[in-house]
Amino acid sequence: MTNELITVALPKGRMLEDSLRLFTVIGANGLENLRESRRLIWEDTTSGLRFLLLRGVDVPTYVEHGAADMGIAGKDVLIEQGKDVYEPLDLGFGFCRLVVAEPIELQGNDDPRAWSYVRIATKYPNITERHFSRKGIQVEVVKLYGSIELAPMAGLSERIVDLVSSGKTLAENGLVEVEEIMKATARLIVNRASLKTKYRRIKGLIDRLAEEVRALRS
Amino acid sequence: MVSRSPEVQTAIPKGVRVLLPEETAKRRYIMAKTLSVFRRWGFQEVVTPTFEYLDVLSVGAGEDQQEKIFKFVDRQTGQLLALRSDLTPQVARMVATSLRHRPLPLRLAYAATVFRYQEPQAGRQREFFQIGVELIGLEQPEADAEMIAMAVESLKELGLGYFQIDVGQVEFFRGLMDAVELGPEVRRKVISAVRRKDASELELLFQAVPGDDRLKECLIALPGLYGGKEVLAKAEGMAFNQRAREALANLRQVYEILAFYGLSDYLIIDLGETYGFEYHSGVVFEAFTKALGYPLSGGGRYDDLIGRFGYPCPATGFAFDLERLLWALEAERVLPAYKGADFLIIDFNPDKRQALRLARLLREKGYSVARDIIKRDLPGSLAYARDASIGRAIVLGTAGCKKDELILKDLLSDREEIHSIEGFSQKVSSGELRWPT
């Protein structure tokens, strides 16, 4: 059973480059096919790995149900979705922060400690609700799927909760950060049944990836 | 009154299912096979109430399980009632009350629906079926081994080709947690990180905590403590206190008994596994197959639960999830094909006595027999029989045979035989004519 395929779900977008590099370093071949063509699946028989290219928010779903044995997902997505998967490794890349932001003009006379009710547009309704309810603040969440920064300008909500990496997008849309909710990096996630039933191969892969991550860090 | 829309109401609430004959037959098959294994090991079936006082059902349920209980109010007393979300506390209560004076051990089995308020998803509805056992009154590792051996035998009996039993011991982790001093917040985070096998977070958490470095290293290594028998040896150096040492020795004993049964190939060990219910207190295990992302069964030792109902008594048990068994078996294509009734009697005679006699005779012999009561032509009746997956048709009073004869038609091969009704009846009675059911 050593040559059975292990299926790995990779997220499109900002974490893809690092993900491809990491798996290339540990011996996967031909991953440029996923970057350069419109391919969504790549099978590398030499390394016994099969890669699926998915939207980042779908990776935990594939892994939880065992449609993929393992995958790479942002910690933000994992906390938001609360899926039942193992997270054995912080991969270190894809760093970003989840923050509360508001228009500059609102900030002048605003004190976050005095909030009692806020209306927030976000892709992260669960994290947002948990964050504010922990502080005893009532929150009305407007769930959006993209272009969150537009919401205050268009009058949909006063504030937003969104990921920032450099803060440039916020500034371009006249927004400023008021609070950080969490920091997030890319995580390796593994299906529970796969870890048990294919543990030799999975454990080998986790160990190899951990070595690389450690080498990259130092 | 609920206002009614003029449309016909056919909606089904989230999380429950209707099962058609084909789907029901598969589940009955799995249930019957599994229960017959349980019976062969000496387990007796019991039935528990579908709803109970919430207080009974919440005994031994952790916070996250409590949240998933369906609750409603008893109109008379105003007390909170709940749909059963787990059979084990109910059986524990039964043991502590009505069964208390029977000699131990007790071997009890059940097959019942369970309700949990959770987001319905593939592999988990809000109402689902469990087939399980509880072995009560034994604290010996042989009892734990018996549970695991029965799980293996059930899965083999069902025809599952590949599966693994993941065995853990919850006291090992609890022992290590005793050895390190943590505030409640950090403690909660550590438990969550171990559960997710998040070694990176454990490392961060323990950086900030004072204490023995070796112990902290062990706790960080805990998520990786899974695999074959070698895990037991590796864990030896990590058993920091009495509690962890005893847990490890106990797990080793169970492993050795199972190896003696010849089952070690089915086992993997995971000492970092903290799943299961809050009431678990020793060896726990889950069954996994490659075809399915979640466990097929769960269970383990719960020595303190029955005591919470007033009768201290060690126990262990496990339950299969019927729906997941079905998925796994379907993925391996090992379920028998669906069959409707064995016979359909199609009778064109105005006098139905012969048809009724034949039906009674065949039923007495153990065959399932349906009669086509609707008036229609022969091709119409045969099409109906095929559609209902009926195996054979018996045709009386048709142009193709004489008045005292019948046509026996095999609907799979389309082969036809003509028999005299008298001769056919005799041969069925004597067993000379027989068919697989």
List chain A domain ranges: 6-94+185-217, 96-182
- A interface test, pick of B197, B220, B275, B332 with most A CB neighbours within 10 Å: B197
- The count of CB pairs under 8 A between chains A and B is 74
Spatial distance between the Cα atoms of B393 and B346, rounded to a whole number of angstroms: 7
pLDDT at A1: 42
pLDDT-derived band at B340 (thresholds 50, 70, 90) equals very high
B360-411 pLDDT, tens digit per residue, is 999 999 999 999 988 899 999 999 999 999 999 999 999 888 989 999 999 9
Q: What is the mean pLDDT of residues B42-69?
A: 90
- By C-alpha distance, the chain A residue nearest B265 is A197
Smallest Cβ–Cβ distance between B288 and the set A90, A197, A200 belongs to A197
Closest partner CB to B196 (pick from A87, A200, A206): A87
- pLDDT tens digits for range A40-74: 999 999 999 999 999 999 999 999 999 999 999 99
Sort out which chain B residues have CB atoms less than 8 A from A199's CB and list them: 226-227, 268
Which has the closest alpha carbon to A5: A42, A31, A34?
A42
Which residues does chain A have within 8 Å of residue B224's beta carbon, measured at their own beta carbons?
A: 88, 203, 206
Instruction: Look at residues A107, A100, A104 and name the one whose alpha carbon lies nearest to residue A122.
Output: A100
Is the model's pLDDT at A37 over the cut of 80? no
Q: Which residues of B touch A (CB under 8 A)?
A: 122-123, 162-164, 166, 196-201, 223-224, 226-227, 268, 270, 286, 288-295
Chain A CB contacts of B227 under 8 Å are: 199-200, 203
Q: Which of B227, B292, B295 sits opposite A199 (nearest CB)?
A: B227
**Gap between the Cα atoms of B291 and B388, Å rounded:** 30
* CB spacing of A65 vs B197 below 8 angstroms: no
**Mean pLDDT score, B119-136:** 90
Task: Name every chain B residue with its beta carbon within 8 A of the beta carbon of A89.
Answer: 199-200
Name the residue among B164, B198, B293 with its Cβ closest to that of A66.
B293
- Say if the Cβ atoms of A197 and B293 lie within 8 Å: no
B236: pLDDT strictly greater than 60: yes
Q: What is the pLDDT of residue B4?
A: 57
Q: Which residues of B419-430 are buried (b: 16+ CB within 10 A; e: fewer)?
A: bebeebbeebee
**A24 CB-near residues (< 8 Å, 6+ apart):** A31
DSSP letter for B267, please: E
pLDDT of residue A38: 80
| Averaged pLDDT, A96-114 | 85
Neighbours of B263 (CB within 10 A): 18
Record: fold of A96-182: D-Maltodextrin-Binding Protein; domain 2 (3.40.190)
**% residues pLDDT > 70 (chain B):** 98
The answer to whether the Cβ–Cβ distance between B224 and A65 falls below 8 Å is no
Partners of B119 on chain A (C-beta within 8 Å) are: none
Q: Which residues of B touch A196 (CB under 8 A)?
A: 164, 166, 226, 268, 270, 286, 288
Distance CA B407, CA B418 (A): 5
C-alpha distance from residue B354 to each of A113, B275, B346, B365 (Å): 89, 62, 11, 17
Closest Cα in chain B, distance from residue A148 (Å) = 26
Instruction: With residue A186 as reference, give the H or E element that holds it.
Output: strand A186-190
- Please state, rounded to an integer, the average pLDDT across all residues of chain B: 92
Q: Which of B339, B338, B343 is nearest to B362 (CA)?
A: B343
Express as a percent the part of chain A with pLDDT over 70.
99
In angstroms, the CA B403 to CA B391 distance is: 24
Does residue A197 belong to the interface with chain B, where contact is any CB pair within 8 Å? yes
- The answer to whether B198 contacts A66, with C-beta atoms less than 8 Å apart, is no
Alpha-carbon span B5 to B214, nearest angstrom = 68
The bridge status of strand A117-122 relative to strand A159-164 is parallel
In this structure, what token pair is assigned to residue B254? 């169970």
Q: Take residue B410 and report the two structure tokens written for it.
A: 């095999």
- CATH code that applies to domain B343-430: 3.40.50.800
- Show which of residues 115-174 on chain A sit within 8 Å of chain B, judged by CB atoms: none
Buried b (16+ CB within 10 A) or exposed e, B291-323: bbbbbbbbbbbbbbbbebbeeebbbbbbbbbbb
A6-94+185-217 belongs to CATH 3.40.50.280 = no
**Taking residues B69-96, what's their average pLDDT?**
94
Minimal Cα–Cα distance from B179 to chain A, Å? 23
Mean per-residue pLDDT for A6-14?
Answer: 94
The stretch B49-73 carries a mean pLDDT of 89
Q: Residues of A with CB below 8 A from B288's CB?
A: 192-193, 196-197
Which residue in this structure is represented by tokens 């997902």? A73
Q: Give me the pLDDT at residue B2, please.
A: 54
- Contact list in B for residue A64 (CB cut-off 8 A) is 293
The answer to whether A89 contacts B199, with C-beta atoms less than 8 Å apart, is yes
pLDDT for the residue numbered B276? 66
pLDDT per position as a tens digit, B239-281: 889 999 999 999 999 999 999 999 999 999 999 987 667 889 9
Q: Parallel, antiparallel, or unpaired: how do β-strands B297-301 and B315-321 relate?
A: antiparallel
Domains B21-331 and B343-430 share a fold: no
| Cα–Cα distance measured from residue A75 to residue A186, given in angstroms and rounded to the nearest whole number | 6
| Nearest-neighbour CA in chain B from A191: distance (Å) | 6
pLDDT band at B6 (very low <50, low <70, confident <90, very high): low
Smallest CA–CA distance from B295 into chain A, residue: A193
CB atoms within 10 A of CB B340: 19
Q: Is A84 on the interface with B (CB under 8 A)?
A: yes
Of B223, B227, B290, the CB nearest to A197: B290
pLDDT tens digits, residue range A76-92?
A: 999 999 999 999 999 99
Same CATH topology for A6-94+185-217 and A96-182: the answer is yes
Task: Provide the ipTM.
Answer: 0.84
Using a CB–CB cutoff of 8 Å, tell me whether A68 touches chain B.
no
Report in angstroms the alpha-carbon separations of B212 from B74, B204, B367. Answer: 53, 15, 72
Between residues B63 and A8, which one has the greater pLDDT? A8
Rg of chain B, C-alpha, whole Å: 28
CB of A110 within 8 Å of a chain B CB? The answer is no
Taking the Cβ of residue A195 and every Cβ of chain B, the question of whether any pair is shorter than 8 Å is answered with: yes
pLDDT, position B414:
92
Res B1 pLDDT > 60: no
Question: Residue A212 pLDDT more than 70?
Answer: yes
Each domain of chain B, given as residue ranges in start order, spans 21-331, 343-430
pLDDT band at residue A3, thresholds of 50, 70 and 90? Answer: low
B21-331 CATH: 3.30.930.10
Closest partner CB to B196 (pick from A63, A66, A86): A86
Interface test with B, best of A87, A203, A208 (most B CBs within 10 A): A87
Please indicate whether, in this complex, the C-beta atoms of B198 and A199 are within 8 angstroms of each other: no
Q: Which residues of B touch A192 (CB under 8 A)?
A: 288, 293-295
